[in-house]
């Protein structure tokens, strides 16, 4: 075990700062189709389902490679792996400009998705720089890199309207490549990797790294992340199209409003990490799911016109959310998603300190798959139901199931540990940390 007290604070802070900025750039590239996809849809005449598949394809790549990138980050170091991810995804983003058919666009989008694997690499890297009682806050700050989705939504529409979507792809590729160089210059390898090199110890085998995946708890965490992250990514991609289609807004206004959701789902993640350190990740997950159930229920209600046959004639009125009230509710939804994302990843370094990469990888993989399958499901539901709010109906069902599973799992665990108790008592999330606070 590396003594983190001997780490130079400047190196620690640079690791956190540079990795967060790098992840922000990667996330901006990962969600690039949320904006340029709207223009590509028009140029290629895509259906809603085809459009959903296009914007979800990078999410698929970024999700599927997370498990392996997490393991490799544990084995060979997060710093070289993150730099490699940035360089390769920058090249693939530049190659987008040469795709002129739908199949070619899907193939190029697979390469762009490499940028999405950056998250789990950063988790593995940064968790080795901080002690357990500070990991929640540190990883929460790092998770604020999700705001890269907002950067794309703020900036890309203006670049696209002025110069076309090709310029967006080129500019984002160059920025990511420059960020890779910046990151490599100003960061150092994690302390654990340095100590391992000095001792000549070999990294753990693939089988050892995958061992924790046999535990049901890991898959429960994955379901939580499927909603708080997967649904976040899905909505970050889908909302510009939603605003344009449901409310008739132009792409610049739609991008700005959708960016508010991305900001809410990203900028407050550090607060979620602090809340998890202070009150326990379990409590934060309860708060998250309870509020998200309410928000998705409200958003699920479609705009409806009513006619009541009154005494003196018909009475007509409408029920539904205008785009301003819709934006407010979506902002609250994103806010609590950010808390939930931080809480899920607070669990991992504590429960699985020797397998952060693999566990974070599978949780990130499942969560990322939500970002792929949910936009596709949104498009299919639109085609089948012809109701814009059908996407939120699906999210309501998903978060309700996650809340129910978490609640009953906690009740079962506490009944086994304390048979005399009935119902969850919000026991301290971490017995070790709880005990240390008493001394």
257-272 pLDDT, tens digit per residue, is: 888 887 887 778 778 8
Q: What is the mean pLDDT of residues 390-403?
A: 93
What pTM does this model have?
0.70
pLDDT tens, 77-102? 888 999 999 999 999 999 998 988 89
pLDDT of residue 212: 66
Q: Is the pLDDT of residue 219 over 70?
A: yes
Contacts of 28 (CB under 8 A, 6+ apart): 148, 149, 151, 152, 172, 175
Tokens of 80: 């070289």
Question: Do the Cβ atoms of 34 and 354 come closer than 8 Å?
Answer: no
SS3 state at 433? helix
Alpha helices in 164-231 (DSSP H): 165-186, 191-199, 206-210, 216-225
**Strand 313-319 vs strand 304-310: parallel, antiparallel, or unpaired?**
antiparallel
For the chain, first and last CA: distance in Å? 22
Question: Do the Cβ atoms of 125 and 5 come closer than 8 Å?
Answer: no
pLDDT of residue 437: 40
pLDDT band for position 175 (50/70/90)?
Answer: very high
May I ask the CATH architecture of the domain 8-186+206-306+317-426?
Up-down Bundle (1.20)
Contacts of 43 (CB under 8 A, 6+ apart): none
Length of the chain: 439
Q: Rounded to whole angstroms, how far apart are CA atoms 403 and 409?
A: 10
Tokens of 196: 């391992």
What is the b/e burial string over 105-117, where b = at least 16 CB atoms within 10 angstroms of the residue's CB? beebbebbbbbbb
pLDDT band for position 401 (50/70/90)?
Answer: very high
Angle between helices 78-94 and 102-112 (to 10 degrees): 160
SS3 state at 173? helix
What is the b/e burial string over 175-200, where b = at least 16 CB atoms within 10 angstroms of the residue's CB? bbbebbeebbeebbbbbbbeebeeee
* Cα 360 from chain centroid (whole Å): 12
pLDDT tens, 415-428? 766 554 454 444 44
Q: Rounded to whole angstroms, how far apart are CA atoms 333 and 360?
A: 24
pLDDT of residue 434: 39
pLDDT tens, 359-372? 777 787 888 788 88
pLDDT of residue 331: 93
pLDDT band for position 19 (50/70/90)?
Answer: very high
Question: Do the Cβ atoms of 15 and 166 come closer than 8 Å?
Answer: no
Beta carbons within 10 angstroms of residue 2's beta carbon? 15
pLDDT tens, 40-63? 888 888 887 788 788 888 888 888
């Amino acid at each position: 075990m590396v003594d983190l007290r001997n780490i130079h604070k400047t190196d620690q802070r640079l690791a956190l700062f540079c990795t967060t900025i790098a992840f922000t750039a990667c996330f901006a590239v990962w969600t690039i189709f949320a904006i340029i996809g709207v223009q590509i849809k028009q140029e290629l005449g895509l259906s809603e389902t085809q459009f959903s598949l296009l914007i979800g394809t990078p999410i698929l790549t970024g999700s599927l490679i997370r498990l392996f990138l997490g393991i490799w980050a544990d084995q060979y170091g997060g710093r070289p792996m993150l730099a490699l991810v940035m360089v390769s995804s920058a090249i693939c983003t530049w190659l987008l400009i040469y795709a002129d058919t739908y199949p070619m666009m899907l193939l190029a989008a697979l390469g762009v998705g490499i940028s999405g694997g950056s998250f789990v690499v950063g988790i593995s890297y940064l968790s080795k720089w901080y002690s357990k009682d500070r990991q929640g806050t540190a990883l929460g700050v790092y998770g604020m890199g999700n705001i890269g989705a907002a950067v794309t939504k703020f900036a890309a529409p203006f670049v696209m309207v002025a110069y076309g979507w090709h310029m967006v792809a080129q500019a984002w590729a160059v920025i990511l490549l420059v960020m890779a160089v910046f990151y490599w210059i100003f960061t150092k390898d994690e302390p654990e990797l340095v100590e391992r090199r000095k001792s000549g110890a070999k990294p753990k085998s693939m089988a050892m790294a995958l061992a924790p995946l046999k535990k049901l708890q890991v898959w429960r965490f994955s379901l939580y992340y499927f909603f708080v992250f997967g649904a976040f990514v899905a909505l970050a991609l889908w909302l510009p199209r939603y605003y344009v289609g449901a409310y008739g807004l132009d792409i610049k206004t739609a991008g700005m409003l959708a960016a508010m959701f991305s900001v809410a789902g990203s900028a407050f993640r550090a607060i979620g990490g602090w809340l998890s350190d202070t009150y326990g990740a379990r409590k934060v997950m309860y708060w998250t799911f309870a509020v998200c159930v309410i928000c998705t229920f409200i958003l699920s209600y479609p705009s409806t016109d009513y006619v009541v046959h009154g005494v003196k004639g018909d009475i007509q009125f409408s029920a539904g959310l205008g785009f301003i009230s819709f934006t407010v509710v979506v902002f609250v939804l994103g806010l609590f998603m950010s808390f939930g994302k931080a809480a899920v990843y607070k669990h991992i370094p504590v429960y699985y300190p020797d397998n952060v990469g693999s566990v974070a990888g599978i949780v990130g993989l499942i969560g990322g798959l939500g970002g792929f399958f949910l936009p596709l499901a949104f498009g299919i539901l639109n085609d089948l139901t012809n109701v814009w709010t059908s996407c939120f109906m699906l999210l309501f069902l998903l978060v309700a199931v996650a809340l129910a599973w978490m609640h009953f799992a906690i009740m079962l665990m506490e009944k086994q540990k304390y048979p005399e108790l009935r119902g969850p008592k919000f026991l301290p999330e971490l017995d070790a940390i709880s005990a240390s606070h008493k001394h």
